[in-house]
A and B are shown apart, each in its own frame.
Chain A
Amino acid sequence: MADSSWTSSAESLKGVILDLCGVLYDSGEDGGTPIPGSVEAVKRLKASDLKLRFCTNETQASRDKFVAKLQKMGFDISVCEVFSPAPAAVAVLKDRGMRPHLLVYDGLLSEFESVDQTNPNCVVVGDAAGNFTYENLNDAFRVLIGLEKPVLFALGKGRYYKEADGLSLDVGPYMKALEYACDVEAEVIGKPSSVFFHSVLSDMGLQPHQVMMVGDDLVNDVGGAQLCGMTGLQVRTGKYRPSDQQHRSVKADGTVDDLAQAVDLLLGARAGPL
């Protein structure tokens, strides 16, 4: 069953932004598996007159690596269409003269190669997964607590994501752990930061009201997009839970079964009466 009120404004849309994990594919030990219908759905969007970008908080691998992985799964996607937190963070660090202590997955380190990491004056925390050992967290904590002005950047603040064997903690809980320990508030780079969404919109050359975001994370994908003025659609794949539809503050403009259904309804509504 799909909530169809959002389709009435479908004709005025000029662009679509898609989340990756939970919309195109599900994460897992083997690199992940495409969600049924998603490969075809992306092809259909690309063939339409809508501009398309991908916006992810993926921070376990560099863009080159995860785009290559998606291409192997059959997705028509390229690096220049993908927006992720690490490159945005690098720009912020350089702009503000910050030298980071990194608490990230090894696969992300290459994104920070051009950044001075000596004598750190801030901590950057990403989805470090297995690298979230007690001692690694402690090292990051010690850097922060030792700074006169502790600065913590979090590459996203998601609570959890879906893997093949169940839900796993995302960067958000670990960001909260460091915030609590050091009494600081993290700056979030990535979804749902509006600065992040606006960088995608400006790359597309479109205004928020002309764009729709499709994601599985009610707060970070849908809520974040809505706060910028975009339409936000939630899919029932990935980390979606039925309780999302009774969330106390975020109400998706529409909820659909998966990306395939979203594209069916969207392109159907734009085709107009036959």
Chain B
Amino acid sequence: MSGRRALRAVLVDLSGTLHIEDTATPVRSSWSGSARPRWAVRFVMSTMEIFTSLSAARRLVEQNHQRPLLLVEDSALEDFAGLDTSNPNAVVVGLAPQHFNYQTLNTAFRLVLEGAPLVAVHKARYYQRGDGLALGPGPFVTALEYASGRSAVVVGKPQETFFTQVPDSGMQPGEAVMIGDDARDDVGGAQNAGMRGILVRTGKYRVGDESKISPGPYLTCDSFPDAVDHLLKDLL
């Protein structure tokens, strides 16, 4: 592992790493101590914050002058404000349990089968909900792809483009580290883009997840505070 590349950015997956729904996982004060180095910190999550897959999805739809059927959470609709959604000719799928019902999926399927592009905000398999694991958008995007015979354009994790767009321009991927609880989408995706990935054993993490990606995570830690400890000690 080359120690010569200085660490300049830390990407932190929000859901499952820093918080699970409304409960925060403990973050130690060493993170905000005076010894903290000058890192750019970007929080990456699919439904809010500085850089999001939702804004990438909106840009794609706008560039192609499409009218989307939006299968996204109500709180995400504002990212698509101003777009014409009448008579849709594209389908955008985000994390939207209230839309993943038989009737709505049939509507989306019929549009895609007839040629409407399918845009996936991301393809997470599942996430940690307050009451246990819950299906993410990935399975439903896969269902629509199989039914229609068409492939979705994925704008969020684990696509490489998502990760390479997040750090400030001018920064090399090798100068960034991603911390997340999803081995494939957070860590695998980041490492495929040339970053280092730290897998944390919180949130949706399950024993054995480390071996689901090859190469394995740069590091696996019990929690976000442990990951930060490591960064402060070993990667300065």
Contact = CB atoms under 8 A, between A and B. Distances in A.
B216 interface: no
Nearest to A129: B102
B30 interface: no
- For A142, A176, A180, the residue with the greatest tally of chain B CB atoms inside 10 Å of its CB is A180
Contacts, number: 84
Nearest to B148: A159
Interface residues of B: mostly helix, strand, loop or mixed? helix
Interface in B170-211: 206
B26 interface: no
B97 A160 contact: no
A174 interface: yes
Contacts of A166: 106, 110
Interface string B79-119: 00000000000000000011011100110011001000000
Interface residues of B, number: 30
A178 B139 CA distance: 7
- For B101, B109, B146, B206, the residue with the greatest tally of chain A CB atoms inside 10 Å of its CB is B146
Nearest to A130: B102
B106 A181 contact: no
11 contacts: A134-B98, A134-B135, A159-B146, A166-B110, A169-B106, A169-B143, A169-B147, A173-B105, A176-B143, A176-B146, A178-B139
Interface of A: 129-134, 137-138, 141-142, 145, 159-160, 166-170, 172-174, 176-183
Given A134-B97, A177-B139, 15 more contacts: A132-B102, A132-B105, A133-B101, A138-B134, A141-B133, A145-B126, A145-B206, A159-B148, A159-B149, A160-B113, A167-B113, A169-B105, A177-B143, A180-B125, A183-B212
